């Protein structure tokens, strides 16, 4: 897993993940396959972060494996997808999931469903400034909670990490 990387390698890994997603989403109008994007991101991260060939290979191999593992997990446990997304997805994992969804064969019906569910999940995220009902709202960035007892409250930027993205907790009655 990515968590085995520490310090500068961890940062390089996250930067490479972002780079892969950017490339696959069609930077400058050209969409790239996962393999192409990985290859380019590997070269880019090696230069930008002054990594050795071995380090860059290690990051690229790990990212590829994570995307493959996520893909298998999702296909095998499609019905659990919604819960899984709501539990403890970190941003790095978000990016890996995005990679996987972008790489998926768009004609595969099951994966189309996953894409829809993913889009639904993302659409359910709330942002600072949104007016919300009573309940508990969790900062996606750090897990800090905001509680509201009455109706009509505006979510504030997270006091801990300044994050502005929240999700409503299911157990809203506290
Ligand atoms: Zn936060």
pLDDT digits (tens, 9 = 90+) for 45-99: 999 999 999 999 999 998 888 777 766 666 665 545 555 455 445 554 566 666 6
Q: How far is the CA of 89 from the centre of ligand 1 (A)?
A: 14
Distance 47 CA to ligand 1 centre (A): 32
Record the tokens describing residue 145, joined without a space. Answer: 């909670």
Distance 131 CA to ligand 1 centre (A): 18
> What gap in Å lies between CA 102 and CA 147, rounded to an integer?
35
Please state the domain extents for the chain. 2-123, 126-168
Rounded to the nearest angstrom, the distance between the alpha carbon of 139 and the centre of ligand 1 is 5
């Amino acid at each position: 897993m990515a968590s085995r990387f520490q310090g500068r390698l961890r940062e390089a890994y996250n930067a490479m993940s972002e780079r892969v997603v950017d490339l696959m989403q069609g930077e400058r109008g050209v969409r790239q396959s996962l393999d192409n994007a990985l290859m380019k991101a590997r070269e880019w991260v090696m230069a930008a972060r002054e990594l050795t060939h071995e380090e860059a290979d290690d990051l690229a191999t790990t990212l590829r494996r994570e995307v493959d593992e996520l893909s298998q997990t999702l296909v095998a446990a499609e019905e659990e997808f919604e819960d899984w997304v709501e539990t403890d997805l970190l941003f790095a994992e978000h990016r890996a999931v995005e990679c996987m969804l972008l790489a998926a064969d768009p004609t595969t019906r099951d994966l189309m469903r996953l894409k829809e569910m993913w889009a639904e999940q993302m659409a359910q995220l709330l942002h600072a400034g949104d007016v919300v009902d009573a309940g508990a709202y969790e900062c996606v960035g750090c897990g800090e909670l905001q509680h509201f007892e009455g109706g009509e409250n505006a979510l504030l930027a997270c006091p801990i990490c300044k994050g502005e993205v929240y999700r409503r907790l299911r157990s809203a009655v506290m």
